[in-house]
Amino acid sequence: MPEDLWDNFDSDEYQEHVTISTIDSTTESKDADKRIVYIEDLEKRKQVYGICGECNEPGTGWKWCRPCNAKRFKENFKNWTSENKDIDEFIQQSQLNAVHYRNYIEWIPFEKFQNITYIAEGGFSKVYSVEWPEGHIEYWDIENQKWKTYNWGKYALKSLNNSSDICSDFLNEIKSHLQIYLYDVVSCYGITQDPVTKEYTMVLRYCDDGNLRNCLNKAENYIDYESKINTLQQIARGLLDIHNSGLIHKDFHSGNILVKGIDAPFISDLGLCQPVNKQTVKEEGIYGVLPYMAPEVLRGHQYTKAADIYSFGIIINELLSEEIPFNDIPHDQFLAIKICSGLRPNISKDVPKLLAELIIKCWDAEIKNRPTTKELYETLKKWHEEENNELTSQIGKYNEIRRKNFESKTSEDRTINIRTHSQAIYTSRLLNFKNLPKPVNSSNLSSCQLNSADAKYAIQSTSANPSNFSSIR
């Protein structure tokens, strides 16, 4: 029996947060933040990934040998079928080209799942939790000549609406997962089909605590600034990996960040992800959640990485201020008008100055003034890792203020505080606004942070006087 040499890889050198666009990638992407891309140099691959105990060649990923595993997968093609030619070919290609266990998928018969429970429905999909006793493949056990699997306990099934007639949107979302097989992005393990509805379904990692928005709403203990900055730098790392892969998210909001506890966030819902250079603006409108959408996107301009940064600015403020953006007013054309005119959510007075300044930079109306994803990640990482910096002194006193405020409220008080307007919609939907004003920043910080009640009053005043908005009809 061949010796298993996988334990020879250099764990200090290996980094989980790899970015690989294709198997033909060269050594490192330009802005990869020193993260390992596919390594073509054989000696370097030996050092980082170890040596395959079967073919004695360097691995292509953690305990993964692409040539050996491709042969195993190919030999098994005859033993399964989705009964859909396009899906079969899609899965087979992912298995033949996989350089890591996170960038291949398998066909999983629906009867393999147990305890199927409905969770929620979003703008385009339904989500269920399931148990999958067999679990997903991690690597080939050379000594025992079988796949080594891992079971998360629960997995998520996500079916896109009307996916019984398989569409490009379904496969494109899975392609995004395979292209960005990273720790900070929800992993996709396979495809299955509901035998009753006939809908095709993605099998994803399940996150026990739901999305970031729900996690904040349900928090029973105070979440300090140190924990929040750690969460934000992980989210920024995931967004950086998406952007380094040549993609943009396009639907970035707190409902699309899943969590296993506040300290383990994962970016999800990559359905709108697409290459930066292959975008088209649909004539019928744009998809998204209005409070998180950049003003230039609301006006129908092309989505960019900077638009994701704007959305992240709203998310940062939501996490730090613990207030859902614009939750007490309708999410309609009048709100879109105000956003283009400089309206932004409240920044709580007990958010440290440095963090408030970062938020304001992210949601600047001028694209050129927003930080790049790399700048944003490096800033948050520095604040998280350095024990003594300018932010540390600011955090101390504000932590105490927020802690006392949190402990003074009952869970019922906090529930009342997060109630939303009946026309405040936080799932992605088709939006179609015409002739919105050119995006500008508010003339001063205080008006930029008008509270929602002020905004509601301004909107009602505008609607009461049609002459005020005749130019935007």
Q: Is-contact 136 204, C-beta < 8 A?
A: no
What pLDDT is recorded for position 317? 97
Question: What is d(CA 122, CA 269) in angstroms, rounded to the nearest whole number?
Answer: 10
| CA-wise closest residue to 216 among 328, 315, 329 | 315
Q: Are residues 147 and 294 in the same domain?
A: no
Share of the chain above pLDDT 90, in %: 46
Q: Are residues 184 and 220 in the same domain?
A: no
Q: Are residues 277 and 144 in the same domain?
A: no
Helix (H) or strand (E) holding 147: strand 146-150
Confidence check: pLDDT of 387 > 80: no
Q: Are residues 322 and 439 in the same domain?
A: yes
The enclosing domain of 218 has a CATH number of 1.10.510.10
Confidence check: pLDDT of 282 > 70: no
pLDDT tens sequence across 93-120: 999 999 888 888 999 999 999 999 998 8
Residue 469 exposed, middle or buried by CB count within 10 Å (0-12, 13-18, 19+): middle
Distance of CA 387 to the CA centre of its chain: 28
pLDDT tens sequence across 132-159: 999 999 999 998 999 999 999 999 998 8
Which segment, 21-25, 88-92, 466-470, is predicted with the most confidence on average? 88-92
Q: What is the largest CA-CA distance in the chain?
A: 84
| CA-wise closest residue to 179 among 24, 287, 72 | 24
**Would you place residue 413 in the very low, low, confident or very high pLDDT band (cuts 50, 70, 90)?**
low
Q: Are residues 244 and 334 in the same domain?
A: yes
Q: Are residues 201 and 266 in the same domain?
A: no
What pLDDT is recorded for position 463? 35
Using the 3D structure, point to which of 182, 205, 228 is the last residue of a domain: 205
The count of domains in the chain is 2
Q: Are residues 224 and 175 in the same domain?
A: no
What residues are paired with 429 via a beta bridge?
A: 288
pLDDT tens sequence across 156-192: 998 876 655 566 667 777 877 777 666 788 888 999 9
Q: Three-state SS for 194? A: coil
Using the 3D structure, point to which of 151, 176, 205 is the last residue of a domain: 205
> For helices 390-407 and 353-362, what crossing angle results, to 10°?
100
Mean pLDDT of 281-294: 82
What residues are paired with 136 via a beta bridge?
A: 150
Domain for residue 309, yes or no?
A: yes
What pLDDT is recorded for position 181? 62
465: left (phi over 0), alpha (psi -120 to 50) or beta: beta
Helix (H) or strand (E) holding 121: strand 114-121
| CA-wise closest residue to 433 among 316, 301, 317, 311 | 301
The residue range of the domain holding 282 is 210-449
The amino acid at 366 = E
Distance of CA 388 to the CA centre of its chain: 30
Q: Is-contact 287 378, C-beta < 8 A?
A: no
What pLDDT is recorded for position 419? 65
Question: What is d(CA 130, CA 205) in angstroms, rounded to the nearest whole number?
Answer: 10
Q: Are residues 335 and 311 in the same domain?
A: yes
What pLDDT is recorded for position 221? 86
Structure tokens at 62: 């953690």
Confidence check: pLDDT of 403 > 90: no
What pLDDT is recorded for position 283? 53
What pLDDT is recorded for position 76? 97
The amino acid at 312 = F
Mean pLDDT of 273-296: 75
- Strand locations in 230-281 (E): 247-248, 257-259, 265-267, 274-275
The enclosing domain of 111 has a CATH number of 3.30.200.20
What pLDDT is recorded for position 199? 87
Higher pLDDT, 226 or 179: 226
Domain for residue 130, yes or no?
A: yes
Domain for residue 27, yes or no?
A: no
Higher pLDDT, 55 or 449: 55
Q: Are residues 101 and 177 in the same domain?
A: yes
Q: Are residues 233 and 362 in the same domain?
A: yes
Domain for residue 99, yes or no?
A: yes
C-alpha torsion 51→52→58→61, nearest 10: -100
Mean pLDDT of 435-452: 66
Residue at token pair 């999958």: 132
Domain for residue 32, yes or no?
A: no
Question: What is d(CA 280, CA 425) in angstroms, rounded to the nearest whole number?
Answer: 25
Q: Are residues 263 and 407 in the same domain?
A: yes
Confidence check: pLDDT of 470 > 80: no
Q: Over 103-116, what HEC string results?
A: HCCEECCHHHCEEE
What pLDDT is recorded for position 290? 96
Domain for residue 89, yes or no?
A: yes
What pLDDT is recorded for position 367? 96
What pLDDT is recorded for position 416? 53
Which segment, 102-111, 241-250, 268-277, 365-374, is predicted with the most confidence on average? 365-374
What residues are paired with 248 via a beta bridge?
A: 274
Average pLDDT, the chain: 81
Q: Are residues 193 and 225 in the same domain?
A: no
Using the 3D structure, point to which of 177, 205, 233 is the last residue of a domain: 205
Whether pTM exceeds 0.85: no
Question: What is d(CA 455, CA 331) in angstroms, rounded to the nearest whole number?
Answer: 12
Domain for residue 33, yes or no?
A: no
What pLDDT is recorded for position 466? 32
**Would you place residue 414 in the very low, low, confident or very high pLDDT band (cuts 50, 70, 90)?**
low
What pLDDT is recorded for position 460? 38
Residue at token pair 């002194």: 393
Helix (H) or strand (E) holding 176: helix 168-179
pLDDT tens sequence across 16-43: 444 433 333 333 333 333 344 567 778 8
Question: What is d(CA 204, CA 209) in angstroms, rounded to the nearest whole number?
Answer: 15
CB atoms within 10 A of CB 34: 6
Structure tokens at 130: 């399931």
CB atoms within 10 A of CB 175: 18
**Would you place residue 292 in the very low, low, confident or very high pLDDT band (cuts 50, 70, 90)?**
very high
Domain for residue 63, yes or no?
A: no
Higher pLDDT, 391 or 436: 436
